[in-house]
A and B are shown apart, each in its own frame.
Chain A
Amino acid sequence: MLSAGIDVGTLWTKAVVIKDNSIIGWNISLMGESCDQVARETLVSALATSGVAIGDVNTIIATGAGKGEVELAHDQANDIVCLAKGIHFLDPKARGVIDMGGESTMVVKLDESGQIVDYARNDKCAAGTGIFLDAMGKVMGVNVEEMGELSSRSTAEVSITSMCVVFAESEVVSQVHRQVPKEDIIKGIHRSVATRIFGLANRFELNGGTIAIGGLARNQGILSCLEEMMKRKLTIPENPQLVSALGAAIIASEKGGR
């Protein structure tokens, strides 16, 4: 039996296809004008490697911000539920997930069976998200991808305390004008982002393995700040962006035939 999950995020659309509890194909593509069309193309590409057509897929479940637009999906599933499903599949020992995305940060606490015990999401505010880091990178003229590496060379961390993106921007500009080394400012920016995420994660006790996913999990600077604050190691799965789509595919397989 073939099942597929499509996660339509604000920036990227992800599709995962599973057969008998193992992943047989996946694809990620950048958002286009029509959610439905991009979702279809992403799924087609995900299926291409195993030579099956959309019509062969028994059940398709959509999740993510644009899940309502995906016409080829048979059903929709909640984003947080999919995340939990995906994580439990990848690592049954995991009891917590920190999803550090472009516009949202989410922390989910799981029990032994992968059920959601509690979860927290960021306020109506970009502090501590990928967009925040993006804005700071632009102000400093540094590529976001390079920030993690640069911060590791910092010798004297600068404190960036404004949480508001706009105010933090002017704080960073002041530091740049004062000719503070980039590395030190970036370290401070990472600390600021990690502090916000920590504030969210610290709302409940996370016992057992904790997994970090989302774009910010690829930034070693933020990750090590967060690990230091949380006093624990964070594990990162091989394809951190695919977890929710995988969760949706698992839900699809649980539903069985149409």
Chain B
Amino acid sequence: MERMATLKTIDAFRDVLKDPAKVAMDWKSQGKKVVGYRCLFVPEEIIWAAGMLPYPLYGTPEPIRLADSYFQSCSCEFVRNLFDQALDGKLDFLDYLALSNTCDASRRVFDHWNQYITACPAYLINNPQKLLDKTNREYYIAELTAFKQQMEELSGKMITDTGIRDAIELYNETRSLLKELCELRKQNPPLITSEEALDVSMAAILMPKDQANPLLQQLLSEVKEREVPENDGPRILVTGSTLDNPVLIRMIEEEGGQVVIDDLCTTSRYFWDQVDNAGEPMESLYRFLNRRALCACLHPMEARFDHLFKLIDEYDIEAVIDFNLKYCNPFMYEAPLLRKELEAQDIPFNVLEIGHDMSGHGQLRTRIQAFIEMIEF
């Protein structure tokens, strides 16, 4: 298969991803604090409005060593990887860790963190498990306000309404630029490969948004001018657990599939929705988080499936691959339910259970080859 030429700006994003800690260190060299966070239900805008950098925690491909003394080998490999990095001192630059109430692994890493990584306090935003529900309004806003107070104490700076509004505007721009880039994958062939899109998205989520946005604009204009070879490979949607390694989608594309949309927290779940910035800022953030592109951790499940079917329709999807990180319970439990929904619509579906380090390439490739042959037949 003919590959499209890489763009200069994509390399700039990839350079950022090569050394994520550098982003944090550069920020700290200005005398400002870094707040690590996990999951999309931590409002970055509040952290940014306090003059601090929200820093997404990504896994590394390194094998787990130290964390094995704390977590069973059948627990979430992503969380074990994060805890391993922390025990190894690789996250010592964090001033604070903000987590949200999504899955058991997140809740328990919060407990472990406060016991063993004492130099960096951890905080859990206890978001409701059932979203899209008006009855949770008062509770959720109180929870977000408590987090805002934490951020004020940590930064020693009052967070003003104007500050949050400005942050929302900045983050809205990042989300809308990433979504615009994503939409260039609707056409056949897509103007940007899935692997490129994942790298760009992960780097943009990592970078301070005032640096990411101009670079995204530059990339968009380059991509729109790009010449791409014909590709008649099946159009695939990838959904699933936290994916911070391009091996899986690279392999799908090497085997002739085209991943034209990915529903992941490192990609479209992050940038799909916008915050309506017209009203009172905490109310705006509540409304945004209460309906942000859902993952298998939260309810209602129907809303997530509706969203997936919308993507299938808009992106002309022929098959769905469900990436199941070992041992991600929410996605493991969800898979049979999603299969039932997709089977009813005659959409081929395959669950790929893979370790965080994506080892066992031969076996993974065989599974992907078989699935793509099955769709094409």
Contacts and interface: CB of A to CB of B under 8 A. Distances in A.
B69 A200 contact: yes
B73 A163 contact: yes
B63 interface: yes
Contact of A195 (B68, B357, B360, B361): B68
B89 interface: no
B362 interface: yes
Nearest to A195: B65
Contact of B69 (A160, A163, A167, A203): A203
Contacts of A177: 362
Nearest to B63: A161
A170 to B, nearest CB: 5
Contacts of A170: 360, 362-363
Contacts of B355: 161-162, 167
A229 B65 contact: yes
B360 A167 contact: yes
Given A123-B73, A203-B69, A195 B359 contact: no
A163 B67 CA distance: 14
B65 A199 contact: yes
Given A161-B357, A167-B360, A171-B360, A127 B73 contact: yes
B69 A159 contact: no
B66 interface: yes
Chain B contact surface mostly: loop
A198 B363 contact: no
Interface range on chain B (Cβ under 8 Å from partner) = 10 to 19
B346 to A, nearest CB: 32
Interface in A199-241: 199-200, 202-203, 229
A78 interface: no
B360 A196 contact: no
Nearest to A192: B63
Contact of B68 (A161, A167, A196): A196
Interface in B215-244: none
A174 interface: yes
Contacts of B66: 199, 202
A72 interface: no
A173 B366 CA distance: 14
Nearest to A170: B363
A125 interface: yes
Given A161-B63, A161-B355, A162-B355, A199 B360 contact: no
Nearest to B363: A170
A174 B74 CA distance: 24
B72 interface: yes
A171 B72 CA distance: 22
Contacts of B362: 170-171, 173-174, 177
Contacts of B65: 195, 198-199, 229
Interface string A148-190: 0000000000011111000100110110010000000000000
Choose among B65, B72, B360 the residue with the greatest number of A CB atoms under 10 Å from its CB. B360
15 contacts: A159-B359, A160-B359, A161-B355, A170-B362, A170-B363, A174-B362, A192-B63, A195-B68, A196-B68, A199-B65, A199-B68, A199-B69, A200-B69, A202-B69, A203-B69
Q: What are the nearest 8 A-B pairs in CB distance?
A: A199-B68, A174-B362, A202-B69, A161-B359, A203-B69, A161-B357, A161-B63, A170-B363
